[in-house]
Amino acid sequence: MIPQNFEYSSPNNLNEALALLADGNAKVLAGGMSLIPLMKLRLAAPEHLVDLGRVADLKSIREEGGSIRIGATATHYDIESSPLVRGKCPLLAEAASNIGDVQVRNMGTIGGSIAHADPAADYPASLLALEAQVRIASAKGERTVTIEQFLVDALTTALEPGEIVREIIVPVEPANAGVSYQKMVQPASGFAIVGAAVRVRKSGGKVAFARVGVTGLAAKAFRAARVEKLLEGTSGSAADVQKAAAVVSDGADANSDLHASASYRQQMAKVYTARALTQALSRAS
């Protein structure tokens, strides 16, 4: 199908973009991986599109103050191939490399992905495990929220009319950390039926630190705090991993659709969480 008619703007800088978005009626176009198909099906019919592709301020990936700051229009390929991200935040690079296919990774952006807030997207699990922050900008100013505050529900975020994601802020990972992102792939789309992102650090033969993010299981991605608490303080043995992974779906209202029932997702969440924990522990020095 053909989209309805719309006005198109391609601003040269961030201030121009924010001014165009100030009335709250325009729709942002980043990579277009979700919006364009919706427009072609006429499930979305924005009157005005503001294309961020020429806004250089939103493309950067840089290290600053012990954190890595990733511009909203950095593509998945930019992130998976960045020496800075691969070396200092390998979990995010690993997640990016698992998104969709080559064409999607060359066009899709991290800001567009998290703003769309698909329950089965890959980034949210990793960003939750990384305890990331999201910097939001509008013509009125800027604010920064945690990724947990940003992700409100399925396809719903904390963005207000006129606001855009400016950058995502993630920590520089210590050299002794172990990370892993494991997912059960929906073959047609590449989305996660379930996915688990893990960061761990060991000290004195014990797991001193664990962070676990889960995607695909519920209406939005979430931190599996009970898994983290069960693993911390243990030796990280196979039995410890299985015990911790077993509670990953506790309290979650699991999704059910044509790809997987709720009970199947709950079981697979345990399996893939255990795999991610095992690999992350094996990588931790």
In angstroms, rounded to a whole number, what is the distance separating the alpha carbons of residues 255 and 233?
32
In angstroms, rounded to a whole number, what is the distance separating the alpha carbons of residues 56 and 103?
21
User: What CATH number is given for 58-171 in this structure?
Assistant: 3.30.465.10
pLDDT digits (tens, 9 = 90+) for 163-219: 999 999 999 999 999 999 999 999 999 999 999 999 999 999 999 999 999 999 999
Report the percent of the chain where pLDDT is more than 90: 98
Query: Around Cβ 229, how many Cβ atoms within 10 Å?
Result: 12
Answer for the pair 71, 60: CB distance below 8 angstroms, yes or no.
yes
**Bridge partners, residue 185, by sequence:** 192
All structural domains of the chain with their residue ranges: 7-48, 58-171, 178-283
When the pLDDT of each residue in the chain is averaged and rounded to a whole number, the result is 97
**Bridge partners, residue 195, by sequence:** 183, 215
Answer for the pair 248, 212: CB distance below 8 angstroms, yes or no.
yes
pLDDT at 1 over 90: no
Quote the pLDDT of residue 2. 87
Answer for the pair 168, 111: CB distance below 8 angstroms, yes or no.
yes
Query: Around Cβ 261, how many Cβ atoms within 10 Å?
Result: 13
User: What's domain 178-283's superfamily in CATH?
Assistant: CO dehydrogenase flavoprotein, C-terminal domain (3.30.390.50)
3-state secondary structure of 271: helix
Answer for the pair 199, 105: CB distance below 8 angstroms, yes or no.
no
pTM to 2 decimal places: 0.97
